[in-house]
Structure 1
């Protein structure tokens, strides 16, 4: 496909009252681009979409949209007929096929009964033309295509007969997304499309968008998703935009490099200007005619110089540090034959696992498999159907509820946090609130008036101040922008306690997980040591094995799956042990060489040889850098190896 520009913005400006949102924004999108849009909450991402769809009108600037360009934008639950079934509603996208089908059937009846040859010929011609068009346009596939998209986004065949009016808000959003994808617009605008999707549905959507033959612009805080889908990143920061080539990982590297280069160029130019200004002052003091001319000439050179701007200040980040007040025992939690079912709906059965101090366990599985229910049982908010659990010695637990039901809507932010930690001085509470970007009058906002992201930050403050050594977190990254997610990752990575987390954020899971408990269905539960990429690699191999076994009418049992996972774990542990051993050997070699260099540099022979001294000093610096990396590798590998269960 030939790449052509289908949309461009030139010097777009937009404000809400006195609050400037977009300033002098310019960029272009081609028909082959898959563009991820990133920025902190409130940066103007959704505002930009509403400008592109003409819902908002910019104060100034120009927007070019290619002639006849069909733009598709997901608007929440708009235009759904609540009396339709789910399948009937999604098939409204194909009303032209349904009309053609009805006319073809009507013509078949007419042809079978018509006696007049001239009229019959007319019917036959119309029937032939319609049948050919129906086939060429994909009429025979539309029904299966619609069902395929619905299944991909997490609906089962049993859901197809549900009335739209009976669907939850999340199901309606998925239905609207299904309809939009099936319309196949020339430019697809998606605002947080992974909300309300479980991991398998997100993976399906990734593959759909990667194969999509037209242009996509997607706003998302899901870094794993953008990494897979985007080939360009449009960053909105400090009211300005910048377009980067590559996916999210490429963008992070390029942005850091660009800032570093700009900072160096800025500093170099400032030094040059400072020297020129010293020269000008000196010439002015001498105050002769030629000195005045020289000073004026140099001043004109400064004025003509194209000034390099200092890199803009990055948006504020929350600063979080989770630290336990007391240390728990080595055994944190024992879960034995835990089962849970609601009337007519079993969730999980005979779930057993132990948790050891320092583990970072993530509970994964499709929506409806009981992940949140499991956390609520472990926190005492729900009673299990059967089985039991108990906590170990000195365990102090805090729970992050994704629904934020524990927050009192009538409280102010200050009161909500202080009520949870009454022994802490108000000054310390205010400092903690400031760290989480609640400053000045913000601390007196009512909880009921806060956004989803602000409520999340309040809940995180309460957990941070609790000093608990076991954190049970249910979707902690929901409502957080990418900056805040990265800070939370770093903080939880350094946490000296134990984590049990439910999350759909695969980037977050991959960064933190030392162990994954995957609930596939009520009777199939997999306990897996490793991060998300390890788990994904293992699962892909198992799926391939399942496909092969289905060809011979065999199915891999749950016990066999666990055996294979255990085998995989042992192989990874051996690789880690080998890495640790090789790293230790190299550390010994580097440290020995550094000792040699130190001795040589102190010898009289080398001390008088300037060239040799420079060479040894350079090698010394390089080896020290390598040693730092080796220590880091050894620490990470040792920590990961320690998380594997003992044989």
Structure 2
């Protein structure tokens, strides 16, 4: 066991955030902490790393074990370049390297005993350098930087010039290179694109130490976590398995707890009615029986009402009118900023009822496309047109649709003047804004609160074509699930940009992958995209002309047809490939056996003791010939299978 949290409690004024929280982390274990926003997850991490003192309880880190912590706004040395900041982690190896060079120079001018002492020192230094990873640390450093999305020409950038998100990535790189026994990460995927998140998943899965993560990225947690610690109503419950396992078990427990609560409430109500009825008879015997029942009722340990997180926020999306079948047609659309080309000659269509997700690297132009479709940014070339009766509802990740100077109440009442005061309050209450909250200014709200106001306006819009830019940003897991359920029940059309792979998996019918300035279509969810991505990209490369810019759209179209196999055809193809792989493996095993046997025969025939035995030599020669013939056939078979 590397970490033990024992009965941790923490309150701020009258708000009990954590109460008797206990759990432990084993060596090499990968665990996650989940809970709604404000549940106390970050507070718990700060207590674990010693940045905050608990009111009660203790945190025990195993002896001689090291701990590394990435906070949501971790600081880095702004006087360094990106490369220098990560290199500073290897200061011990740099000093060893200097000593080795110094020792080498001294050895050139030494002799006798002095030379022998220097050679011993040199051997000791090089051994320490090698065991400390001295011959690998620079390639490891470059690998981490590239994995986190930095290009080589960015390595020399001063840290002071970076955005907040880039600084967080540098801090994450530093932490990974420190190689502590326990890594603690608070929302590590917030500033990473999909490729960097996938790289980080692989890195952490292969990490030899233990990992403790707070994250709202459920796909990430599914891949990494083997244990989930839930913080709910200030208490902690441990679930073994990944996030999906936790979600199933949590729902089972929630249903069981709710049923137990409701059954007890029904029983209490029944007993109270019986007691009241017995007393109404006004007979001595009936009154005694009523008193006896009251005593029994007083002894019942009343079950606390379970939390109903999923019913707090009410989200129902209903189109006002039905649109035409052709919702959006994009033709030859191109956009650049100065010399930076985002996308060129983009063409695609969206039909009524489709849920289409746009994915791609950070900075590839996804949000810009949505802004073009909403008339906020002009395209350089090309056109787009909306179908008949199409009404757009736009969710902007930067919440430009909100007015910072207005209160929540004014934001709704000004855009929807037909609503009365009660209706406006009811709408805001459905998104967790009650009482005096409705008079808060938009400028004073957190990112998550602004997101809920934007969702409230989206619900009121009654649009039949939703265009959403990162709708899950700043939402906790429960709120994401409520939004997912609402979108899955929505009868209109949806086009959205998201980095949330779990969200895409649950809501997308089709994926548009913005890669190298072109959109490639995958008819399916995110798992389907992963399954077909390599095949599609290989098809694009195979069909790409010498001048890639000339007609890459044709290649993308050819690749799109590759992914439109129906599910039955896909499964048949997968079964055929699996059989082929098995046959290839068996063929390779037989080849290895025959080659080994031919080698053994050569050794036996070279033995002087066998050289005088003519019959034995003939037998071995005949077997060797047979093996060679079989081997030639297997070589041909292998070539066919490996083709």
Q: TM-score, normalised by structure 2?
A: 0.80
Unaligned runs of 5+ in 1: 550-555, 577-647
Does structure 1 residue 246 correspond to structure 2 residue 241? yes
Residue 560 of structure 1: how far off its partner (Å):
4.9
Cα gap change, 1:287/1:411 in structure 2, threshold over 3 Å: closer, same or farther? Answer: same
Residues 216-243 of structure 1: per-residue CA shift (max 9 Å, x gap): 1111111111111111111111111101
Q: Corresponding residue for 2:374?
A: 379
CA distance in 1, matches of 2:429, 2:458: 16
Aligned-partner SS, 1:534: helix
Residues 359-417 of structure 1: per-residue CA shift (max 9 Å, x gap): 11111111111101111111111112211212222222122111113322221111112
Residue among 100, 104, 114 paired with 2:100: 104
Q: Corresponding residue for 1:351?
A: 346
Residue 259 of structure 1: how far off its partner (Å):
3.1
> Once superposed, which parts of structure 1, at least 4 consecutive aligned residues long, lie more than 6 Å away?
267-279, 284-288, 298-305, 543-549, 573-576
Cα gap change, 1:548/1:568 in structure 2, threshold over 3 Å: closer, same or farther? Answer: closer
On the 8 A contact 2:72/2:187 being kept in 1, the answer is no
Does structure 1 residue 529 correspond to structure 2 residue 523? yes
Residue among 117, 125, 128 paired with 1:133: 128
Aligned length in residues: 559
Listed as ranges, the matches of 1:494-643 within 5 Å are 494-522=489-517, 524-542=518-536, 559-560=554-555, 562-572=557-567
Aligned-partner SS, 2:191: coil
Q: Corresponding residue for 2:200?
A: 205
CA distance in 2, matches of 1:548, 1:470: 36
Residue 337 of structure 1: how far off its partner (Å):
0.9
Cα gap change, 1:573/1:402 in structure 2, threshold over 3 Å: closer, same or farther? Answer: farther
Residue 9 of structure 1: how far off its partner (Å):
2.1
Listed as ranges, the matches of 1:154-303 within 5 Å are 154-263=149-258
Q: TM-score, normalised by structure 1?
A: 0.80
Q: Corresponding residue for 2:88?
A: 92
Aligned-partner SS, 1:570: coil
Q: Corresponding residue for 1:142?
A: 137
Aligned-partner SS, 2:566: helix
Residue 490 of structure 1: how far off its partner (Å):
1.1
Residues 553-589 of structure 1: per-residue CA shift (max 9 Å, x gap): xxx987556424313313338679xxxxxxxxxxxxx
Does structure 1 residue 421 correspond to structure 2 residue 441? no
CA RMSD of aligned residues (A): 3.2
Residues 153-203 of structure 1: per-residue CA shift (max 9 Å, x gap): 111112112111111111111111111111121121111111011111111
Residue 441 of structure 1: how far off its partner (Å):
0.5
On the 8 A contact 1:259/1:311 being kept in 2, the answer is no
On the 8 A contact 1:372/1:474 being kept in 2, the answer is yes
On the 8 A contact 2:258/2:306 being kept in 1, the answer is no
On the 8 A contact 1:338/1:387 being kept in 2, the answer is yes
On the 8 A contact 2:147/2:199 being kept in 1, the answer is yes
Q: Corresponding residue for 1:599?
A: none
Residues 339-368 of structure 1: per-residue CA shift (max 9 Å, x gap): 111112111111111121111111111111
Residue among 20, 33, 36 paired with 1:24: 20
Does structure 1 residue 407 correspond to structure 2 residue 396? no
Residue 444 of structure 1: how far off its partner (Å):
0.4
Aligned-partner SS, 1:569: coil
Q: Corresponding residue for 1:639?
A: none
Q: Corresponding residue for 2:466?
A: 471
CA distance in 2, matches of 1:267, 1:406: 43
CA distance in 1, matches of 2:266, 2:377: 66
CA distance in 2, matches of 1:323, 1:59: 48
Residues 448-491 of structure 1: per-residue CA shift (max 9 Å, x gap): 11111000011111121112221111101000011111111111
Cα gap change, 1:548/1:67 in structure 2, threshold over 3 Å: closer, same or farther? Answer: farther
On the 8 A contact 1:262/1:310 being kept in 2, the answer is no
CA distance in 2, matches of 1:396, 1:272: 51
CA distance in 2, matches of 1:250, 1:79: 35
Cα gap change, 1:539/1:67 in structure 2, threshold over 3 Å: closer, same or farther? Answer: same
Question: Greater shift after overlay, 129-138 or 307-316?
Answer: 307-316
Aligned-partner SS, 1:326: coil
Aligned-partner SS, 1:97: helix
Residue 33 of structure 1: how far off its partner (Å):
2.1
Cα gap change, 1:347/1:271 in structure 2, threshold over 3 Å: closer, same or farther? Answer: closer
Question: Greater shift after overlay, 560-569 or 377-386?
Answer: 560-569
Report the structure number with the largest CA radius of gyration.
Answer: 2
CA distance in 2, matches of 1:308, 1:434: 29
Q: Corresponding residue for 2:67?
A: 71
